[in-house]
Amino acid sequence: MLKVVILAAGKSTRMKSDRPKVLHAIAGLPMLRWVVEAARALSPDEIIVIVGHGAEGVRKEFAPDKLTFVAQEPQLGTGHAVLQARAALAGAGQVAVLCGDVPLLTADTLKRLAECHRDARAAATVLTTVLEKPAGYGRILRDERGSVKAIVEQKDLKPGQERISEINSGTYLFNGPELVARLDRLTNANAQKEYYLTDVVHLLAQDGQSVAAWCCEDSREVLGINTRRELAACDKIARWRVVEQLMAGGVTVLDPENAYIEAGVKVGRDTTIYPYTAIHAGVQIGERCEIGPYAHLRSGTVVGNDCKVGAFVETKNAKIGDESKAGHLAYLGDVTLGKDVNIGAGTIVANYDGKQKHKTEIGDEAFIGCGTVLVAPVKVGKRGQTGANTVVPKNKDVPDDTIVVGAPARVLKRKA
Ligand code: UD1
Ligand code: CA
Q: Report pLDDT for 297.
A: 98
Comparing CA positions, the residue from 217, 190, 210, 224 lying closest to residue 142 is 210
Per run of 10 residues, the mean pLDDT along the chain (length 416 residues) is 96 90 97 97 97 96 96 97 96 96 96 96 97 95 92 97 96 98 96 97 97 96 95 97 97 95 98 98 97 98 98 98 98 98 98 97 98 97 97 96 87 88
Compute the distance between CA of residue 62 and CA of residue 330 in angstroms, rounded to an integer.
35
Superfamily of domain 2-222 in CATH is Spore Coat Polysaccharide Biosynthesis Protein SpsA; Chain A (3.90.550.10)
Residue nearest to atom 13 of ligand 1 (CA): 170
Nearest CA to ligand 1 atom 3: 138
100 Cα nearest atom in ligand 1 = 30
Q: Where are the domains of the chain?
A: 2-222, 239-414
Q: How many helices (DSSP H) and strands (DSSP E) are in the chain?
A: 8, 31
Task: Identify which ligand lies nearest to the alpha carbon of 225.
Answer: 2
**How far apart are alpha carbons 196 and 236 in whole angstroms?**
30
Closest residue by Cα to residue 299 from 324, 272, 262: 262
- Residue closest via CA to ligand 1's atom 34 equals 10
Predicted TM-score (pTM) of the model is: 0.92
pLDDT at 412 (0 to 100): 86
The ligand 1 atom at the shortest distance from the C-alpha of residue 167 is 12
Distance in Å, CA 99 to ligand 1 centroid: 7
Contacts 24+ apart (CB under 8 A), 115-122: 116/212, 116/214, 117/173, 117/212, 117/214, 120/210, 120/212, 121/210, 122/175, 122/209, 122/210, 122/211, 122/212
Q: What is the pLDDT of residue 299?
A: 97
Q: Comparing 2-222 with 239-414, is the CATH topology the same?
A: no
Is 258 strand, coil or helix?
helix
Among 7, 15, 26, 78, residue to substitute to test ligand 1 (most atoms within 8 Å of Cβ): 78
Atom of ligand 1 nearest to the CA of 10: 26
**Amino acid identity, position 313:** V
What pLDDT sits at residue 408? 67
Q: Which atom of ligand 1 is nearest to the CA of 199?
A: 8
Expressed in angstroms and rounded, the spacing between residue 43 Cα and the centre of ligand 1 is 24
Q: Where does ligand 1 bind, in terms of residues with CB under 6 Å? A: 7-10, 50, 72, 75-78, 80-81, 99-102, 137-138, 151, 153, 167-170, 196-198, 224, 226
Contacts of residues 114-123 at CB distance under 8 Å and 24 or more positions apart, as own/partner, are 114/42, 114/173, 116/212, 116/214, 117/173, 117/212, 117/214, 120/210, 120/212, 121/210, 122/175, 122/209, 122/210, 122/211, 122/212, 123/174, 123/175, 123/178, 123/204, 123/209, 123/210, 123/211
- pLDDT of the residue at 409: 67
Q: Residue 68 Cα, ligand 1 centroid: separation in angstroms? A: 20
Q: What is the pLDDT of residue 307?
A: 98
Q: Is 328 a catalytic residue?
A: yes
239-414 — its CATH code? 2.160.10.10
Ligand 2 mean position, distance from CA 220 (Å)? 14
Q: Which ligand is nearest to the CA of 222?
A: 1
CA-CA distance, 53 to 61, in Å (whole number)? 14
Could you say which ligand is closest to the alpha carbon of residue 167?
1
Q: Can you state the angle between helices 176-183 and 199-206, rounded to 10 degrees?
A: 110
Ligand 1 atom 11 nearest Cα: 138
Residue 358 CA to ligand 1 center (angstroms) comes to 47
Q: Please give the distance, rounded to the nearest whole angstrom, from the Cα atom of residue 77 to the centre of ligand 2.
A: 11
List phi, psi (to 5°) of 245: -65, -40
DSSP-based three-state secondary structure for 91: coil
Atom of ligand 1 nearest to the CA of 138: 11
Give the CA angle between residues 318, 323, 329 to the nearest 5°: 55
Residue of 24, 117, 328, 358 marked catalytic: 328
Give me the pLDDT at residue 146, please. Answer: 85
Give the contacts of 165 (CB within 8 A, at least 6 positions apart).
130, 131, 132, 134
Contact 403, 390 (CB under 8 A): no
From the CA of 11, the nearest ligand is 1
